[in-house]
């Protein structure tokens, strides 16, 4: 059996749909169908049955699904060990300001103990790219926040956090126990740069209709946002867990969905080092 065919089969088995699996694998549907047919021919069994709603696993298909994950993981571990023997292995981690949070030290310590020969590089992205460089191959894995356009990107949620409005401590609204977006409708909000992911922009700039909110200065980083609030009295949104500088407070926003802190990676990429990073991050942030 070819590992490539097993990866294709796993995608179809998990998506239960050839079209969705093809999108996930960044390929078209006809060659994916041919690949699954080849795998069935090699094994001499039928693995999938098509239906009007998608596909179902046959009994042999269910058995292969259980075994294929282990086989692929073992193959990737072997590849990593061989690569490590040839020289230094580097994992590049993309982050947004503050995304690593207070558990970053624990994550670093645990990862080093599991992978002492792996060099870690960090790249901090600005607000224009919440995927932190995954799509253009600048980073291998990201510590970032949803929501953003995650097509072709897989994520594992480390924790889901409530958000609040960042205000100056002397702001009359800073004494409230909670606020709504309507309470802030007349306040100037910082703006995100042109080209920012629209899903990301819609969340962090709230949902007020155009023309019903004053626009503040453009901010590209977390620190620029905080300084705009501190110096100009603008309003922004932040996870409640973020440590703010003196003079600022974060008042919980009711009616706002939480912001999940996630590990993210390209779905098409199979890498045991990324899977290990994800597992260790889950433990660190638990």
In CATH, the number for domain 3-84 is: 1.10.10.10
Burial class (CB in 10 A: 0-12, 13-18, 19+), 270: middle
- For the chain, which ranges sit under pLDDT 70? 24, 26, 76-77, 79-88, 97-104, 206-214, 270
Closest by CA to 129, choosing from 267, 221, 262, 206, is 221
Q: What is the DSSP letter of 101?
A: G
Q: For residue 58, what pLDDT is reported?
A: 93
Other CB atoms within a 10 A radius of the CB of residue 199 amount to 14
pLDDT of residue 87: 60
φ, ψ dihedrals at 54, nearest 5°: 155, -130
Closest CA to 15 of 34, 1, 37, 36: 36
pTM over 0.85? The answer is no
Every domain of the chain with CATH number 1.10.10.10 lies at 3-84
Q: Does domain 88-159+260-285 have CATH number 3.50.50.60?
A: no
Residue 240 is given by DSSP the state T
- Class of 163-256 per CATH? alpha beta
Range(s) within the chain of domains with CATH label 3.40.190.10 = 88-159+260-285, 163-256
Residue pLDDT, tens place only, 142-167: 999 999 888 889 999 988 889 999 99
The whole-number pLDDT of residue 81 equals 67
């Amino acid at each position: 059996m070819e590992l490539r065919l097993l990866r294709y089969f796993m995608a179809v088995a998990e998506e239960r749909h050839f079209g969705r699996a093809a999108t996930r694998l960044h390929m078209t549907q006809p060659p994916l169908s041919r690949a699954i047919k080849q795998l069935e021919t090699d094994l001499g069994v039928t693995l999938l049955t098509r239906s009007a709603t998608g596909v179902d696993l046959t009994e042999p298909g269910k058995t292969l699904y259980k075994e294929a994950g282990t086989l692929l993981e073992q193959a990737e571990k072997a590849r990593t060990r061989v690569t490590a023997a040839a020289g230094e292995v580097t994992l590049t981690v993309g982050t947004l300001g503050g995304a690593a949070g207070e558990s970053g030290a624990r994550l670093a310590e645990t990862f080093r103990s599991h992978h002492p020969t792996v060099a870690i590089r960090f790249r901090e992205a600005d607000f224009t790219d919440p995927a932190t460089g995954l799509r253009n191959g600048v980073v291998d894995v990201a510590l970032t926040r949803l929501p953003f356009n995650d097509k072709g990107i897989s994520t594992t949620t480390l924790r889901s956090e409530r958000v609040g409005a960042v205000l100056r401590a002397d702001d009359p609204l800073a004494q409230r126990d909670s606020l709504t977006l309507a309470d802030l409708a007349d306040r100037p909000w910082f703006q995100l740069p042109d080209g920012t992911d629209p899903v990301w922009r819609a969340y962090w700039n709230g949902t007020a209709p155009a023309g019903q909110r004053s626009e503040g200065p453009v901010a590209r980083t977390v620190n620029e946002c905080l300084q705009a609030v501190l110096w100009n009295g603008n309003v922004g949104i932040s996870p409640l867990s973020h440590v703010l500088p003196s003079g600022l407070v974060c008042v919980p926003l009711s009616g706002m969905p939480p912001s999940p802190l996630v590990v993210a990676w390209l779905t098409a990429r199979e890498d045991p080092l990324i899977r290990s990073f994800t597992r260790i991050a889950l433990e660190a942030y638990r």
